[in-house]
Amino acid sequence: MSADEEFTNLHVVDHPLVLHKLSHLRDETTSTNDFRALLREMALLIGYEITRKLDMSSKMISTPITRMEAPILASVKPAIVPVLRAGLGMAEGLSQLIPTAPIGHIGLFRDPETKRPVEYYVRLPDNKDRLFILVDPMLATGYSASYAVDVLNKYGVPDSKIRFMAMVAAPEGMRAFNEAHPTVEVWAAALDEKLNEKAYIVPGLGDAGDRLFETS
């Protein structure tokens, strides 16, 4: 895993399997079915890193040999919150990693003129001082990511209890995000070069939602 000197809250997961799958995710010839599978698999792999410091507890169990005090996750499980719609593909991978995690949804779309997020749906699990993991394949302009964190803040979740997972991020988006939420940790498979004139990440992977759901 590598760190960026400018963005100290960004964790780039450069594991060989993640990088290999990211290359296929970027490839425009990758089928819809394979794109879905790759997004799910990458979310699971990055999820191992993002959940490394989850709160732990213990309980007594019996092995076939003896009794022991066994480590288990704390009773309050982290929540998975995809940013609709593209985040749904990542949420599936994370839920395989943490099957008992509650799942919320934040529905945003990007205004084609202003490039700013517009909210259309919010549904969140109970806030029991749990960790909230926001998932969205692209951290492009940073506006949607910042808005999603704002939504959780209004729900009573502090920045210290929020993590953001993306597949790829743009420097412009990270700067905008950090102006609003500099202490929220971001986990991604790559920090890409830039945004183009249409606010798409370069080289990026195109419109993740359209590729995930085969729409245009």
43: domain range? 2-213
Amino acid in the structure at residue 182: P
Entry pTM: 0.92
> What is the pLDDT, as a whole number, of residue 76?
78
> What is the pLDDT, as a whole number, of residue 63?
98
Q: In whole angstroms, give the CA distance from residue 74 to residue 58.
A: 8
Q: Mark 160-194 as b/e (b = at least 16 C-beta within 10 Å).
A: ebbbbbbbbbbbbbbebbbebbeebbbbbbbbbee
Note whether 201 and 136 are within 8 A (CB): no
Instruction: Show the CA angle centred on residue 123, arms to residues 119 and 125, nearest 5°.
Output: 145
> What is the pLDDT, as a whole number, of residue 114?
79
Residue at token pair 């979740």: 157
Q: In whole angstroms, give the CA distance from residue 178 to residue 182.
A: 4
190-191 vs 10-12, strand pairing mode: unpaired
Q: How many domains does the chain have?
A: 1
Mean pLDDT by 10 residues, the chain (216 residues): 79 96 96 96 95 92 98 88 94 93 93 85 91 96 96 96 97 96 97 94 94 89
Q: Indicate which CATH number applies to the domain containing 171.
A: 3.40.50.2020
Catalytic residues: 110, 114, 207, 210
> What is the pLDDT, as a whole number, of residue 3?
60
